[in-house]
Structure 1
Amino acid sequence: MSDLDKEYDGIRYKAKDTPPLIFKALFTVLVIWAVCFMGYYLFSGWSSEGEFAAIKRAKEARLAAEKSKGGQAALPVNEERRSTELLAAGKKEFAERCASCHGPDAKGGIGPDLTKKTYKYGRTAPEVMQTLVEGRPGGMPSFRSELSKDKLEGLVEYVLSL
């Protein structure tokens, strides 16, 4: 009796040199699928970075088209949320620090009317920020050491929204 044909506890064992046909078929299908998968994803030029860049370019083109039509470009969601938070914080700071001079409705009092279309020292964000940080002669105090950058930005946004 050879090593290949043995009997253990009444069970006859005969070693086969080849795996079952179903395993061969499944392995062959798996290898073919893997080669096709690698060929497609490695050599087709597709990448998630390329897809992201294409989406970003399309969004920028859409925003530029909206801006060129005369409308303001829409803010991204996180910027819009930050803007509304700044506006709310600015309104609160205005009520606490500015309403005593400019009036609760910003129509003026001791200080000038902030609802006008133009200001004496300019009505752009950098000019209003400069006014808040440095103050102005004739009564406008400096808030440089009293307010944080976020509070100043909120106050500027609120004043410009009037």
Structure 2
Amino acid sequence: MTNTKMTWQIFKEQLELHPDQILQFQYATDKWVDASYHITEIKQAPITSVDCGGKMNAWTEIIVQLWEPEEQQTDRAMAVHKALKIVNLVEASLPLNPNAVVKIEFGNSAFDTRQMYPNEIVADGENLIVNLQPDATQCKATDRGQTCGTPKNKTLEIPVSIEGGQACTPGGGCC
């Protein structure tokens, strides 16, 4: 599973397939969340937005927050089955949308807190590794053939006054 935004259902299913493995998170090349991490909360965030093209968008995100204590408390990360206990505890109080996009929220003293997508989940020996990729901003209007609210390849004709009261427009040869 790579290069797609993973849903909560797929994320949870991957965990359920590997309950006895050790859950590891890699947030950059050769950078791992410390084995002492805790899952401090799981948030369900309904998002409603209006993009620069005037279109309303709505989706839901499930954000799993990881906290890394300042002092290492253990040499071995939590087992997947322990993470699933936390998930089940959360879902007993808050039914989580199976189609929601999953994000992992993490930061430490050397890495600013941010939300990242699980890019892939890989079983490697005794470890279940969640490789994270940074979130990125995007212009949703470009997916609809627009650029920030204006159709692509269309020049806005904004008259500009020049000396003598003449008007000049982009591409008109006078500007």
TM-score, normalised via structure 2 length: 0.17
TM-score normalised over the length of structure 1: 0.18
More strand per residue: 1 or 2?
A: 2
Q: Which has the higher contact order (CA 8 A, sep 6+)?
A: 2
Q: Which has the larger radius of gyration?
A: 1
